Structure formats: structure tokens, C-alpha cells
């Protein structure tokens, strides 16, 4: 039986561990934290991410928890439309999912074939010719035919195998929260939750997770919002951070103030936005008869402006699982590298273009941006959406 060690039980690691186990691999999933715990936020999945989850055999689980996300357009802080909402064909419509629901679906996908070991922080990787790949935490060595590094942005394995790559700040921080369904404000009938508002270095996006239990027993429901602001994360406690957000977004179009008001400080998750520069030169490393691959944020951490990080992690997982079903292990590792690097590079390029627009500051630059946004942004977005949608799992 072929064996794999997957390092990191985030979205990417759990998706690939379950897929390999369902294909008959013996899988050990190593997680540094003492418990595998999802963030209490949500995630937008574009058609490529949805397709990848279906290719991984998780379509039914996803259907039970996903809420379609219609295009809500883009407004300026004064309420003027930069980009009017447009009807989206069903096959191009993203969905929004509570991360705890997605986590449950991925855990269910692990079945009982994956050995999950928590409290194991991998510190070393062995990738030398003639020996099977292995990782270690200083106490134990875990050897397998395949090592999947899904250990996130600060990947220790990537640091050792692709030292040319560094993690840098993207110059902004993000705050996210889900207002649970039982505390979600009732909005007037003519007010939509969905949509994006863009100011000078500030951005606010909101989406409805629907009613609890509308699509499936496990759906949590509520309203998800994410606010991004140029600068570093704030050191203050959550209630002060929320007060700051209320000040920064005061006077922005409804329902932003209402949503911030309905948010409990304990629900707010703050995060510095970071990315990899440059991307690693390789995503697959042949080692003896097996190999090591980088997957998810470990391979291509990027700012979340196009909502593609998790989608690409699922693409990585579906590609790797598909290749491993079709080919010998060394060929699958080479194929993974060949398919995933250009794909990630394209999405990172699109994301960086979007970052430049989103983080525009200064009056003149802002006027130019607003003028340009009306024409550029739909084009940029549809190029990004087309690039995202174009992905197909390997047959
Ligand atoms: C504000 C924000 C909004 C976002 N919104 C979206 C969105 O709408 N759509 C989307 O597609 N993406 C979005 N993303 C991106 C998405 O969250 C990430 O790309 C995705 O979660 C990456 O998953 P991962 O499994 O690769 O890494 P992670 O989720 O970081 O998981 C890595 C795991 O590895 C573990 N680990 C780390 N080091 C070690 C070690 N040495 N040994 C063992 N275990 C280790 C960690 O504890 C963790 O559990 C967003 C990101 C942010 C910051």
C-alpha cells in the first residue's frame, strides 16, 4: 500500500489527505496545533474551487452547506456605483460557506482511514536521493512514499526546499466575522447584504450565509463580512479594533454600520495579509522512488482580494489526487509541478493587479482609480473570473 504524510490539517491538507485515503493510500496527517480547529469565519468559493471539491468527491457535502453569492456590484464610500451589480450565470456564480461547515465536510471526508496526529510540529524534511522522503518533529521521524507540505504560509518544509522564497507583508490587514443567524440584523427589503465597497486603501465586503439549516442540516447561517485596510494589524484588544472599524467605515453605505454594530468583538478575527515573493521555483521534488510536494498557502500564499487561496489549495489537492490515480509516483510529482506552477503564477499575477487597484491612496490617484475602476475592474474581474473558471481537474 502506498503511503503519504500530509503536514498541516488546514483546508488544503484535509482535502488532500481525504482524497488520498479514498484512493487507497495509507495517510498520516500531522498537525502542529493541539486541536484541528476551523476559523469562525467564512470563505467564498469560486467555480474552480467548487469544481475541485467535486473532483475530490466532496460535492454532496458542499451542496449541503453552500449559499450562492449573487454579484452585489462595487460602490464607493459615498454610495455611488463604481460597478453595477450584474446577473451572473449559475455556472459562474461563487458560493459562500461557513468555514466550520466546510471543516465538518472535510473531516467527514477523512473517514477512518487517515491517522490524524495533533501536537506534531514538523521541523525537518529529508529529501535526499536514494532515500524515502521523511519529516520529523525532533522526536519522531515520519517516512512515506509521498510527503505533502500543506503547512501554510510559514511552511517549514518550503523554507528548507525552496529557500529562494520569502514571506512578505502585503501592506494591509483584514478583519473578518460571521454574525450568527440568531444575531443577524433584519435589513429593509430594498437593502442587499451582498456587495463590495471600495475607499482609499479600505474595502468592505459582505455576504449572506443564508438562514440556518435552509440547505442542509449542518448549515450555520448568518452574515459574513470582511474589512481590509492598508497598514499593519492593530495591537489593541478586539473591542477597540471593532470600535476602530466603526470609525473607519462610518458614513459608508448601508448596511455596513448595521453589520458592525451587530458584531460581537469576540467574533472578530484579525489577520495580517502576507504573500510569498517570489513563488517557489518548484512545487514538486522527486526524492528516491517518491517525492515531496508543496500545496496550498505553503506553495502560493497570496492576498485574498480575488478570494482564490482556498480555491487553489483545492485545485492543488484535486490535481495531485488525479495524477496519482493515473501515473506512477515520480511522474505524478513531475506532472503536479508542471501543472500547478503556471496556474498559481497566473492567479498570483491577477491578484497583484487587483491589490494595486485596491490599495490606491491619495486624492489624484484615487480619482484616476475611480475613473478607471468602472472600466478596468469589470475587465480585470472578468479576466480573473475567467482564469479561475477555466480550471479543469486532470481527466
Ligand atoms: C482575510 C482572508 C480572507 C480569505 N478569503 C478567502 C476566500 O474567500 N476564498 C478563498 O478561496 N480563500 C480565501 N482566503 C485564503 C484561504 O484562507 C487560504 O488560502 C487557505 O486557508 C489556505 O489553506 P492551507 O491549508 O494551505 O493553509 P492553512 O489554512 O494555513 O493550514 C496550514 C495548517 O498547517 C499547520 N501547520 C503549520 N506549520 C506546521 C508544522 N510545522 N507542522 C505541522 N503542522 C503545521 C497549521 O497549524 C494549519 O493547521 C482568505 C484569506 C484571508 C487571510
CATH number of residue 218's parent domain: 3.30.9.30
**Domain-located, residue 365:** no
Distance 80 CA to ligand 1 centre (A): 34
Last residue of a domain, one of 219, 250, 269: 269
Do 225 and 264 fall within a single domain? yes
Q: Whose CA is nearest to atom 52 of ligand 1?
A: 304
Distance 149 CA to ligand 1 centre (A): 12
* Sequential pLDDT tens for the chain (395 residues): 999 999 999 999 999 999 999 999 999 999 999 999 999 999 999 999 999 999 999 999 999 999 999 999 999 999 999 888 988 888 889 999 999 999 999 999 998 989 999 999 999 999 998 899 999 999 999 999 999 999 999 999 999 999 999 999 999 999 999 999 999 999 999 899 999 999 989 999 999 998 775 555 457 899 999 999 999 999 999 999 999 999 999 999 999 999 999 999 999 999 999 999 999 999 999 998 899 999 999 999 999 988 999 999 999 999 999 999 999 999 999 999 999 999 999 999 989 888 887 777 777 677 777 776 666 556 666 666 777 778 998 87
Compute, in angstroms, the gap from residue 9 CA to the centroid of ligand 1.
9
- What are the residues facing 116 on neighbouring strands? 29
Domain residue limits at 303: 3-168+274-360+372-389
Which of residues 211, 237, 269 is at a domain's end? 269
**Residues 59, 157 within the same domain:** yes
135 found inside a domain: yes
Torsional sign, CA 112, 340, 298, 5: positive
Pocket of ligand 1 (CB under 6 A): 7-13, 30-33, 43-44, 49, 120-122, 150-152, 156, 174, 176, 226, 271, 273, 296-298, 304, 307-311, 313
60 and 20, same structural domain?
yes
Assess whether 325 and 217 both reside in one domain: no
The grid cell for 234 is 492593530
Ligand 1 atom showing the smallest separation from residue 311 Cα: 11
Q: Among the atoms of ligand 1, which is closest to the Cα of residue 13? A: 25
Complete edge-to-edge strand list for the sheet that includes strand 124-126: 124-126, 134-136, 141-143
Answer yes or no: is 115 within a domain. Answer: yes
> What CATH number corresponds to the domain at position 376?
3.50.50.60
Ligand 1, atom 17: closest residue by C-alpha: 310
Same structural domain, 157 and 216: no
User: Which residue's CA is the closest to the ligand 1 atom numbered 1?
Assistant: 174
Find the 33 Cα to ligand 1 centroid distance in Å.
Answer: 13
61/216 Cα distance (integer angstroms): 9
DSSP string across 145-207: SEEEE---TT-HHHHHH-TT-EEEEEEEEEEEEEEETTTPPPPPTT--S-EEEE-SSEEEEEE
Rounded to the nearest whole angstrom, what is the distance from the C-alpha of residue 45 to the centroid of ligand 1?
A: 14
Closest atom, ligand 1, to C-alpha of 156 = 41
CA–centroid distance, residue 313 to ligand 1 (Å): 9
pTM more than 0.75: yes
Probe target for ligand 1 pocket from 167, 309, 317, 391, with the most ligand atoms within 8 Å of CB: 309
Q: How many domains does the chain have?
A: 2
| Spacing, Cα 365 to ligand 1 middle (Å) | 33
Q: Is the domain of 218 the same as that of 112?
A: no
Q: Cα(380)–Cα(382) distance, rounded to whole angstroms? A: 5
Atom of ligand 1 minimally distant from the CA of 157: 41
Query: Grid coordinates in use for 117?
Result: 496526529
Identify whether residues 141 and 222 lie together within a single domain: no
**301 CA closest ligand 1 atom index:** 19
User: Is residue 394 one of the residues assigned to a domain?
Assistant: no
Domain assignment present for residue 349? The answer is yes
Domain end call among 242, 269, 296:
269
- Domain shared by 104 and 214, yes or no: no
What would the grid cell of residue 135 be?
A: 519529516
In a domain? residue 22? yes
Clarify whether residues 158 and 179 are in a common domain: no
* 155, 231: one domain: no
Is there a domain that residue 395 lies in? no
The answer to whether residue 123 sits within a structural domain is yes
Residue 155: name the closest of 44, 319, 10 by CA: 10
Euclidean distance between CA atoms 7 and 151, whole angstroms: 6
Ligand 1, atom 30, lies closest to the CA of 152
What is the position in ligand 1's atom list of the atom closest to the CA of 151?
34
pLDDT at position 217, please?
A: 46
Residues 150 and 281 in one domain: yes
The verdict on 248 and 377 lying in the same domain is: no
According to the model, what pLDDT value does residue 19 have? 97
pLDDT for position 367: 75
Residue keyed to cell 450565509: 209
Q: Which atom of ligand 1 is nearest to the CA of 9?
A: 49
Tell me, in angstroms, the distance from the centre of ligand 1 to residue 152's CA.
Answer: 5
Amino acid at each position: 500500500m502506498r503511503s503519504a504524510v500530509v503536514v498541516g490539517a488546514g483546508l488544503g491538507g484535509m482535502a488532500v489527505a481525504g482524497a488520498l485515503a479514498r484512493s487507497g493510500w495509507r495517510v498520516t496527517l500531522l498537525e502542529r496545533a493541539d486541536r484541528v480547529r476551523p476559523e469562525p469565519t467564512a470563505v467564498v468559493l469560486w467555480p474552480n474551487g467548487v469544481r475541485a471539491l467535486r473532483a475530490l468527491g466532496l460535492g454532496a457535502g458542499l451542496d449541503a452547506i453552500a449559499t450562492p453569492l449573487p454579484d452585489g456590484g462595487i460602490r464607493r464610500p459615498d454610495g455611488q456605483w463604481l460597478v453595477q451589480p450584474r446577473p451572473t450565470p449559475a455556472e459562474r456564480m461563487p458560493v459562500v460557506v461557513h468555514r466550520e461547515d466546510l471543516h465538518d465536510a472535510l473531516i467527514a471526508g477523512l473517514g477512518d482511514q487517515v491517522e490524524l496526529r495533533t501536537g506534531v510540529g514538523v521541523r525537518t524534511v529529508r529529501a535526499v536521493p536514494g532515500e524515502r522522503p521523511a519529516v520529523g518533529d525532533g522526536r519522531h521521524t515520519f517516512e512515506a512514499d509521498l510527503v505533502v507540505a500543506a503547512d501554510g504560509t510559514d511552511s517549514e518544509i518550503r523554507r528548507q526546499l525552496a529557500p529562494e522564497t520569502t514571506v512578505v507583508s502585503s501592506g494591509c490587514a483584514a478583519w473578518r466575522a460571521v454574525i450568527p443567524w440568531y444575531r443577524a440584523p433584519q435589513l429593509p427589503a430594498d437593502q442587499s447584504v451582498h456587495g463590495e465597497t471600495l475607499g482609499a486603501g479600505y474595502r468592505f465586503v459582505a455576504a449572506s450565509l443564508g438562514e440556518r439549516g435552509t440547505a442542509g442540516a449542518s448549515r450555520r447561517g448568518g452574515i459574513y463580512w470582511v474589512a481590509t485596510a492598508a497598514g499593519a494589524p492593530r495591537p489593541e484588544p478586539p473591542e477597540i479594533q471593532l470600535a476602530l472599524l466603526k470609525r473607519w467605515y462610518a458614513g459608508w453605505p448601508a448596511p455596513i454600520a448595521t453589520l458592525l454594530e451587530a458584531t460581537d468583538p469576540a467574533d472578530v478575527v484579525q489577520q495580517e495579509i502576507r504573500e510569498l515573493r517570489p513563488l517557489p521555483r518548484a512545487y514538486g521534488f522527486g526524492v528516491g522512488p517518491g517525492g515531496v510536494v508543496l500545496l496550498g498557502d505553503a506553495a502560493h500564499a497570496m492576498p485574498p482580494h480575488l478570494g482564490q487561496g482556498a480555491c487553489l489549495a483545492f485545485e492543488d489537492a484535486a490535481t495531485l489526487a488525479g495524477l496519482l490515480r493515473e501515473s506512477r509516483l515520480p511522474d505524478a510529482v513531475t506532472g503536479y509541478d508542471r501543472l500547478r506552477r503556471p496556474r498559481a503564477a497566473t492567479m498570483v499575477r491577477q491578484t497583484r493587479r487587483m491589490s494595486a487597484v485596491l490599495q490606491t491612496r491619495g486624492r489624484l490617484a484615487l480619482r484616476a482609480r475611480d475613473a478607471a475602476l468602472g472600466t478596468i475592474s469589470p475587465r480585470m474581474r472578468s479576466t480573473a473570473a475567467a482564469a479561475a473558471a477555466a480550471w479543469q481537474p486532470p481527466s
